[in-house]
Amino acid sequence: LNRLDGGVFPLHEVRLSQATEVRRQERKDAAIEMKREQARRGDPAAAAAVGAESYFQDRDIDQAAKHFAAAAAKGDAMGLNNLGSMLLNGIGGYEKDEALAFKSFERSAALVNPYGMYNLAVCLMYGQGTAANH
């Protein structure tokens, strides 16, 4: 590995850097597993977080939908918002249902979730799941 000044890092510094990165990844993996366990035990916020990880990192839309639905069923604001997005777009095994998506965004917004508020406003502006309200 080269330093910015053109020199070379001593081997012990390279190994220390690699070991630090391994420990960082191990902590990240442990945190993700802890969230998954919390989700299995019924924690709605953990279910929403695991759903987001499934969707954005693992690209497992069906697994994300399962977690978002579990979180939404327990009234979690992010779960409601993300489930609404899936319903609005007809993904994750859901048929496109703008009216149900609107209700999901409405519940998320009522819990003061900024994403739910934004998505509710977009639905109102374009008349998705409700009459347009410019």
pLDDT, tens digit, 9 for 90 and up, residues 42-58: 999 999 999 999 999 88
Residue 102 structure tokens: 């609107």
Residue position matching structure tokens 């597993």: 33
pLDDT at 9 over 70: no
What are the tens digits of pLDDT across the range 96-124?
Answer: 999 999 999 999 999 999 999 999 999 99
**Percent of the chain whose predicted confidence (pLDDT) is above 70:** 88
Question: At CA 112, angle to CA 106 and CA 115, rounded to 5?
Answer: 70
What are the tens digits of pLDDT across the range 81-97?
Answer: 999 999 999 999 999 99
Question: At CA 96, angle to CA 36 and CA 73, rounded to 5?
Answer: 35
